[in-house]
Structure 1
Amino acid sequence: MKRTARISALAVALGSGMAHAHPAIEAFNAWCFKAGQTQERARSNMEGTAGAPLLFALTFWDTSLEPTPQAPAHAERRCEVAFSGDHADAAVTAVQAKMAMPPVFGTPIPLPAPYAAEPGTAFIEGRKLLRGRVAVVHIGIRGAQTFIGVDRLPAGMGVSE
């Protein structure tokens, strides 16, 4: 019984940020779910959380705020961090806990096209958001790096009623 209580307490601590997670996981949870950031602002916010220079790769763009030629048509916003090592389990635990905290990050829906699990995927899920928007959260391993990403789709894309 005591072991179960300790494991539950650890899970709560990890989800609430009380335990020390990798700086990339902390920065992702602190900033990648927040709208209204330019690429420059997102980097600055993450440096404030994880320290500068960032010890992880950051991919960030939001076509609703600034032109982004490399953005695919199926996503209007992307925030992804990638960092060395296999931290997928810790990332899944922390990100799922973050999405469950108020305000809850949407409701699960079937994965919209063209998204699909790829080799190394530990977690992928579509989420219905407010105002006809959908997000896809994807966590896994690519090569020797953990990645955590969230894409927001343009209004109406990926929503089937």
Structure 2
Amino acid sequence: MIRSLIISCLLASPVMAGTVASTAIDSFNAICFKAGQTAAEARMRMEARAGSPLPFDLTFWDKTLQPAPDTPPKIERRCEVRFDGDHTDTAIAALRKQMATPPVFGFAIDLPDTHAEASGTALIEGRELLRGRVAVVHVGTRDGQTFMAVDRLPRGWEGG
């Protein structure tokens, strides 16, 4: 009995340690703010943390590293996770904590014209980054899911 319990614990996926929501939120905060990763690398890192297949939806692209057709022209990078239920309060609290952890994730600025609050938005905020870049963090609900997203805009984004 004890042996089978130990084997079951060893074979359990990382998701079993917490809920899908906490796993998605933790994975977003650990991976989505890291620059210099391809979509495959981001997915691999998420799967290493959360299990494979991912227990949540992931959208990731970085036009500075590889082509990303059919994506918004003024956004160079996006990382978004989506998971069932309304967990916006928990997601916002974790996101705020992550953004305040050194190195601090920029400082709040007016929202760029590339983004706007939408139905279901719980938080949307522009952040000024190093080297003239800007990021937008967005948390909300759509279609019965919570989403957390961070978009990075290139230097000169305000110029069109």
TM-score, with structure 1 as normaliser: 0.84
User: 4+ residue stretches of structure 1 with deviation over 3 A?
Assistant: none
* 3-state SS in 2 of match to 1:22: helix
**Aligned partners of 2:59, 2:155: CA distance in 1, in Å?**
21
**Aligned partners of 1:54, 1:79: CA distance in 2, in Å?**
14
2:64 maps to amino acid:
S
**Aligned partners of 1:114, 1:45: CA distance in 2, in Å?**
28
Point out the structure with max Rg over C-alpha.
Answer: 2
1:123 aligns with: 123
Which has the larger helix fraction? 2
Q: How far off is 1:155 after superposition? A: 1.2
1:142 aligns with: 142
Q: How far off is 1:114 after superposition? A: 2.3
Q: Could you list the per-position Cα deviations for residues 46-69 of structure 1 after superposition, in whole angstroms to 9, with x for gaps in the alignment? A: 011111110111000000000111
2:151 aligns with: 151
1:34 maps to amino acid:
K
Say if 2:66 is the partner of 1:66: yes
Q: How far off is 1:156 after superposition? A: 1.5
**Aligned partners of 1:115, 1:22: CA distance in 2, in Å?**
26
TM-score, with structure 2 as normaliser: 0.85
1:51 aligns with: 51
**Aligned partners of 2:127, 2:28: CA distance in 1, in Å?**
17
Contact 1:134 1:158 (C-alpha < 8 Å) held by counterparts:
no
State the number of aligned residues.
141
2:113 aligns with: 113
2:39 aligns with: 39
From the superposition, tell whether residues 158 and 95 of structure 1 become closer, same or farther in structure 2 (CA, over 3 Å).
farther
**Aligned partners of 2:85, 2:115: CA distance in 1, in Å?**
24
Q: How far off is 1:71 after superposition? A: 1.7
User: Percent sequence identity over matched residues?
Assistant: 59
Instruction: Extract unaligned runs of 5+ from structure 2.
Output: 1-17
Contact 1:127 1:134 (C-alpha < 8 Å) held by counterparts:
yes
Instruction: Extract unaligned runs of 5+ from structure 1.
Output: 1-18
Query: Comparing 150-159 with 33-42, which one deviates more in the overlay?
Result: 150-159
CA-atom RMSD in angstroms? 1.5
1:15 aligns with: none
Q: How far off is 1:130 after superposition? A: 0.4
